[in-house]
Amino acid sequence: MSSSLTPDAPAFVAKTSGGRITDFVDQRVGGSGILREFGRKVFPDHWSFMFGEVALYSFVILLLSGTFLTFFFDPSMAETHYAGSYTPLTNVEMSVAYSSSLNISFDVRGGMFMRQVHHWSALLFVASVSVHMLRVFFTGAFRKPRELNWVVGSVLLILSMAAGFTGYSLPDDLLSGNGLRIIDGVIKSIPVIGTYTSFFLFGGEFPGTMIISRLYTLHILLVPALILLMIVMHLFMVVVHKHTQYPGPGRNDGNVVGYPLGPVYAAKAGGFFFIVFGVVAIMAAFFTINPIWNYGPYDPSPVSAGTQPDWYIGFVDGALRLMPGTIGDWKVEQVWFGHMFTFNVLLPALVPAGILFTVMFAYPWIERWITKDNREHHVLDRPRNAPTRTAIGMAGFVWYCVMWAAAGSDLIATHFHVALNDVTYWLRALFFIGPVIAFIVTKRVALALQRKDREIALHGRETGRIVRLPHGEFIEVHAPLDEYKRYKLIGFESPVPLPAVPNEHGVVDRKEKRRAKLSRWFFEDRVAPATPAELEAAHGHHGAHEAVEAAESQKTLSH
């Protein structure tokens, strides 16, 4: 303890005033240690890692623009008569919430711009979270040790949709009011508690006078606080795990190859925030989003045709549209024991979303159980090198997209001049067969790409140069790859199916048999990465070309 006070070890004294302030703070918060730990931390670089950054930055933009909007927005459903500068609605009876939204648009300088920025970045936020999750799924980044971070990310996806929906309804315009009406209908279909839940949410009968202010509290306090908490957890785990990296020469599960945080990575990532903000600003400047003044105030009677929810709610709305309410004369809705079982609403509203999110949350554990792979993975899979996983992902993605497309069934019908009923029938069929087709096609494509990789690794790339040999044969010259490029193509794991293993009692139980079956399904179609011996053999058998190529290069040298 006394050593720090000995006179022969003089304390550091900063020379400039800036240095003295820094030193003052450093001595009290220990910044040097933090900087030493993180200042040069290595981050791998890849364009696909940007989606998560876009999500983070659009959330920051949402906080900034949203705070501005709260200064002018009044979430009251009290009745008022519009007296702002948008003349088509002058003296129209409306809620204070709708009136203040119009004022933000037309009477607050920059208000329209901030509303546009806020709505566009909300759409971008959910989109980038979704695309980021697709990237993580298809590259296998959710594997050990990142399973929990995958779960946190999935929670973030749900929260981002919740944030979007609660915000979407706030202006109390006709379009979002109809959205709430649909939510009310879905809630009422829930057995036992549905009616009570609806009355509790709306403070009585729909639409009541409470819902906007309640959604407002959720939208500006509860949901963003939860999102912030999840983001902190998410980033904390990213630091603990360090970032994943794509496969390539010099990269393995024991290292991380990339640029140091300071300066390159920090500059790129920091600069990227401004780029995202700039792109959102361009969208806000030139593309109208949610022109609430065209819709008018909420009224339970009118509705406009061709209305759409914000994109991320589309898949649920589409599922609602796809479900038939009657099959022949048989009603899907049933009365059992004197109570209503509204299967025509319950099933589409809960089942597809339930399956998607359950599989999404559980997938890391499902794959871990099938593969019995308990190792840490820091090197990503190229999607083609995990054909079954990629096929599962595409099947889910296509399933989602079919439902999403169904939310625009009426627009598809009017744009392409086809019968609305036919669009619905086709989409109903695709709902079931689309994922199957997607699975099969994706798996075949992935395997084909693997074979192509293998061929390029063994035989080199096609140069497009046709050479005629002395005995008249034509060949195309293949240029061999350098060892770095080759390693990228062959440096991956190709697991084989794992047969059932007896447990400690020497018995292969039924669960293990099922696992072995799934393991075979997962891994039986595979393309083994090329080996040095095969490369040797390939070169041997290409003897003729090699002679030509050697001669060619000789010629080049002699110039």
Query: Between residues 127 and 261, which has the closer beta carbon with respect to another protein?
Result: 261
Q: Tell me the three-class secondary structure of 423-463, residue by residue.
A: HHHHHHHHHHHHHHHHHHHHHHHHHHHHHHHHHHHHHCEEE
Query: Which contiguous run of DSSP H or E holds residue 136?
Result: helix 111-138
Region of 5-13, 131-139, 239-247, 365-373 interacting with another protein (CB under 8 A):
239-247
Asked if 452 is part of the footprint of another protein (rule: CB under 8 A), the reply reads yes
Q: In terms of CB distance, is 26 or 277 closer to another protein?
A: 277
Nearer to another protein, 8 or 483 (CB): 483
CB atoms under 10 Å from CB of 415, counted, come to: 10
Among 26, 373, 455, 546, binds another protein (CB under 8 A): 455
Helices 111-138 and 50-70 cross at an angle (nearest 10°) of: 150
Other CB atoms within 10 Å distance of the CB of residue 518: 18
E strands along 333-413, which residues? Answer: 334-336, 339-341
Question: To 10 degrees, the CA torsion angle through 292, 293, 294, 299?
Answer: 80
| Interface with another protein in residues 1-60 (CB under 8 A) | 41-42
Question: Is 195 an interacting residue with respect to another protein (CB under 8 A)?
Answer: yes
Binding residues for another protein, total number by CB under 8 A:
146
Minimum CB–partner distance for residue 521 and another protein (Å) = 16
- DSSP letters along 328-349, please? TTEESSEEETTEEE-HHHHHHH
Distances in Å between the Cα of 307 and the Cα atoms of 75, 124, 301, 410, 499 are: 24, 20, 15, 9, 53
Smaller CB separation from another protein, 86 or 357: 86
Non-local (6+) Cβ contacts of 172 within 8 A are 77, 94, 95, 97, 98, 101, 212, 297, 298
The DSSP code for 47 is G
Identity of the residue, 7 or 338, whose beta carbon is nearer to another protein in the bound complex: 338
Q: How far apart are CA 200 and CA 208, in angstroms?
A: 11
Q: Which stretch binds another protein (CB under 8 A): 122-130, 359-367, 446-454, 499-507?
A: 446-454
105 binding another protein? (CB under 8 A): yes
Instruction: Please tell me whether residue 303 adopts helix, strand or coil conformation.
Output: coil
CB of 260 to another protein, least distance (A): 6
User: Does residue 378 interact with another protein by CB under 8 A?
Assistant: yes
324 binds another protein (CB under 8 A): yes
Residue 184 contacts another protein per CB under 8 A: yes
| Beta carbons of 64 and 284 less than 8 angstroms apart | no
CB nearer another protein, residue 255 or residue 358: 255
Binding of another protein at residue 446 (CB under 8 A)? no
222 binds another protein (CB under 8 A): no
Q: What angle do CA 305, 311, 312 make, to 5 degrees?
A: 130
* Helical pair 50-70 and 266-286, crossing angle rounded to 10 deg: 50
Judged by CB under 8 A, the chain residues 482 through 541 that form the site for another protein are 483-484, 486-487, 490-491, 494, 496, 526-534, 537-538, 541
Here's the x/- map for another protein, 253-272, by CB under 8 A: it reads as xxxxxxxx--xx--xx-xxx
Least CB distance to another protein at residue 190 (A): 8
| Phi and psi, residue 160, nearest 5° | -65, -35
Q: Which of 217, 326, 358, 463 binds another protein (CB under 8 A)?
A: 326
Site string for another protein, 118-147 (x = CB under 8 A): ---------------------------x--
Pick between residue 18 and residue 338 the one whose CB is nearest to another protein. Answer: 338
Q: Which is nearer to another protein, 87 or 91 (CB)?
A: 87
Judged by CB under 8 A, the residue of 340, 350, 498, 500 near another protein is 340
